[in-house]
Amino acid sequence: MEGDASVAVKVCYALPHHQEIITLRLARRITVLEAIQQSGILDNYREIDLSKNGIGIYGRLVELHQIVRDQDRIEIYRALSLHPMAARRRRAMQE
């Protein structure tokens, strides 16, 4: 696949009850930011603010200027509504 002039990537955004996954074939040497923009996900989910939302590839935080590789899964993270430790304490108290 090294001779191929494009890469396949997925752009993902998870909501509480729905996960949006957009599969794209893009030119090589494209950045994470460009892949997100070309996916159209920003038009469908206006609450996404790339200056505030974390961005990762397979669970590892990345910068928007990073170059994507073939088969990357770009993940747009939502802000936590409750800190994980507080959520665990709340569940433990309800048991």
pLDDT digits 0-9 by tens, 11-58: 999 988 899 999 999 999 999 999 999 999 999 999 999 999 999 999
Q: Look up residue 31 and give its DSSP letter.
A: B
Q: Are strands 6-15 and 73-76 parallel, antiparallel or unpaired?
A: parallel
Reference 34, options 77, 68, 7, 8; nearest CA is 68
Q: What are phi and psi of 15, to 5 degrees?
A: -105, 170
pTM for this predicted structure: 0.80
Non-local (6+) Cβ contacts of 53 within 8 A are 76, 77, 78, 79
